[in-house]
Amino acid sequence: MTQDTRPTVKLSRRTLLQGSAAVAGVAAGSGAVTGFPAVWSAEPKVLRYLGTAVNQSADIAKKVKEDTGITLEYVAVTTDDVTKRVITQPNSYDIVDTEYFALKKLVPAGNLKAMNGRKIKEYGNITPVITKCELGDGTKIGDQGTAPKKVMFVDGEHSTKFSSGMTEWATLIPTVYNADTLGIRPDLIKTKVDSWAQLLNPEFKGKAAILNIPSIGIMDAAMVVEATGQYKYPDKGNMTKPEIDMTMKVLTEAKKNGQFRAFWKDFNESVNLMASGETVIQSMWSPAVTAVKSKGIPCVFQPLKEGYRSWASGFAVSKGVSGMKEDVAYEFVNWFLSGWAGAYLNRQGYYSAVLPTAKAAMEPYEWAYWMEGKPAEKDIHAPDGTLLDHAGNVRDGGSFDARMGKVACWNAIMDENDYMVRKWNEFIAA
């Protein structure tokens, strides 16, 4: 896709209403118009934002309010509950922030409107990592599992089937993505950690944890199984029933042997486990590592030789949203892609869906550290100002191309998803 370089004029409904109110005020003051109130009030721009607590930042809510007048009302639930609410309560939110792997459930339900690419200013600049599973130079990356390119496009606004190629209608407008790995406490670990197999290392008995979201946890488990040499999956993201049974058997044996301290489901829980030292190695998300570091506690998002498990998320609107509310939703999404939010998320170790706008909103030394894998020219700080890394150090995993180029698989919904979830829940309950 190529960017539309024609000049654009940004006219929001708020701007138009303000202009109309000003004209009306002048007319009323001159006596030219009678029978109308002297002051007109624009309808408040409010969006009920459904998602997990990970991306629901008070800083983002404050900034978008300042820039656009939009008020975000966060509805924070777990990853699984986002899916449930979209399917069962489509009128309980206006905009949803969800992961691409969930779309195999959400799109057939028909409760989301496809997003019109013609209304998204940066649609042509969305990273090919999302649209094609490629780096900017055309290098292919792993697409096992529910890679975004497989579920990003449909043929129309109300389509419930995925398109085989790129179209102007998107299931989600991507906002953020990453390549996930294991988090470790380097001050509490003596052994070199360079493989997913270390999650089951007896040295970490009672000090390991895995993510308790079935569609994500099963992928971490598969990375461990392959790393230990027990099995090579044709597609980790679409296991057969025997493959699911074998994978869960490995986890169950480890659980019986006392390997796991916890099975976390909440972002804050993962932070607390690692910050307290209750765990020293576990499934983690990049901003959770950032959160631990911000407390002054050593924590590393450890690169592993088998590669990364990746994910991506984005915005869609409920089928119940239309008219002015839909206009506000598109205004918010366009604001999100315009730079400030992307830079904010990049500073936590995420990656923005539109890299050029995020780059423009970052200092050159920040971009060099977070995206190019270069030693920090200055101390690196989190969005709240806390120190994350010292000048001279490099980011865990190196540059954007080095990290995303080693993606092995993506979070997934399998053909045997119901069976997998049942087996996973049995494992957790046992």
Residue written as tokens 């994910």? 311
Determine contact, residues 113/316, Cβ cutoff 8 Å.
Answer: yes
How much is the pLDDT for 42?
66
CA atoms within 13 Å, Cβ hemisphere of 407: 30
How much is the pLDDT for 267?
86
pTM of the complete model: 0.84
How much is the pLDDT for 386?
86
How much is the pLDDT for 16?
31
Domains of the chain: 44-176+312-360 (3.40.190.10), 182-306+399-429 (3.40.190.10)
How much is the pLDDT for 384?
87
Please state, as a whole number, how many other Cβ atoms lie within 10 Å of the Cβ of residue 332.
Answer: 22
Q: What is the pLDDT of residues 114-157, one digit of tens each?
A: 999 999 999 999 999 999 999 999 999 999 999 999 999 999 99
Which residue(s) pair with 262 in the sheet? 209
Determine contact, residues 395/370, Cβ cutoff 8 Å.
Answer: yes
Residues in the chain: 430
How much is the pLDDT for 119?
98
Taking alpha carbons only, the member of 283, 235, 285 closest to residue 261 is 283
How much is the pLDDT for 367?
98
**Cα–Cα distance between 73 and 321 in angstroms, integer?**
15
How much is the pLDDT for 8?
34
Beta-strand pair 182-184/169-170: unpaired
How much is the pLDDT for 430?
87
How much is the pLDDT for 36?
32
Residue 202 CA from chain centroid, whole number: 32
For every residue of 192-234, which 3-state class applies, written as one string? CCCCHHHHHCHHHCCCEEEECCHHHHHHHHHHHHHHCCCCCCC
Mean pLDDT per segment of 10 residues, for the chain of length 430 residues? 36 33 33 34 87 86 97 92 95 96 95 97 97 96 95 94 94 96 96 96 97 93 97 96 98 97 92 97 90 91 95 96 97 98 93 98 98 97 89 93 96 95 95
**Cα–Cα distance between 284 and 279 in angstroms, integer?**
11
How much is the pLDDT for 5?
36
Residue written as tokens 């027990």? 230
